[in-house]
Amino acid sequence: MMPLTPWVKRLLVANTVVFVVLGSGAAAPEIFYDLAFFPDPRHALTHPWTGITYQFLHGGFGHLFFNMIALYFFGPRLEHRMGGRHFLALYLLSGFGGAMLSLLFPDPAMRPIVGASGAVYGVLVAYAALWPRTVIHIWAILPIEAWALALIMVVVSLWSGLTGAGGNVAHFAHLGGLAVGYGYLRIWDWRLGAAKREFKRKLEAPLHPPEGVAATLNADGALMRRWETIDTASLHELNREEVELLLEKARKLGVKALTTSERQFLDRMVQA
């Protein structure tokens, strides 16, 4: 198991401190309920902060313990992979997404929703998406792969939410956390690979020089004038650095010092 990462440690401390100070609401009920989330659109509009603050409240020690033990085991590896900023965003947005989905399926009794479960479910589903074959031992006994555990959580939460089973558990908050956590991970993963995909696309794109240029492609001066028109400011950082290095090489050593693939790359950047 990985050592605790910075944001996992801070979240563990924050949740524990809030529970020690406020407990399950008996110590300071006015503050507790002012921070809790009520699945009522009017209350959500007048208390917008509760979409975040409810995640740090818990209804009892057991509620706190199971949420924090899950965060303790699954959070560090995920934070190490995504980085602190993205991990925290996934955590808080998953909890917020759980609150928002609860607005669509409100509890008729309008009982307040508290707990980090939505956020933790987002962490769990992201973990399962990245490492689906990791074996997890439930209660340190029952082995199950991460993807199967995530699927079971979705099915149980959906069934319990629609049928009303499960008592006071906010199942739609769990589902919202699962959906947002998975969605955030997919967006993060796509953006992470976007620069590499764009670089590869440019490199592999067919070369179609504009009319009027083909006749002078063999002239070094014409090539340099053509390449000097590249708008480096509009390029991605990876492409911009490569263009600037190749242009500097051509200026110092001449166009013939560039390989065929390097010349083709610069021509593609002209057309970008």
Active site residues: 117, 171
Asked if residues 91 and 188 have their Cβ atoms less than 8 Å apart, the reply is no
Helix axes 84-104, 117-130, angle to 10 degrees: 120
Whole-number CA gyration radius for the chain: 27
Asked if residues 60 and 109 have their Cβ atoms less than 8 Å apart, the reply is no
Residue 97 burial (10 A CB sphere; 0-12, 13-18, 19+): buried
Phi, psi torsion values for 259, nearest 5 degrees:
-75, 170
How far the first Cα of the chain sits from its last, in Å, is 46
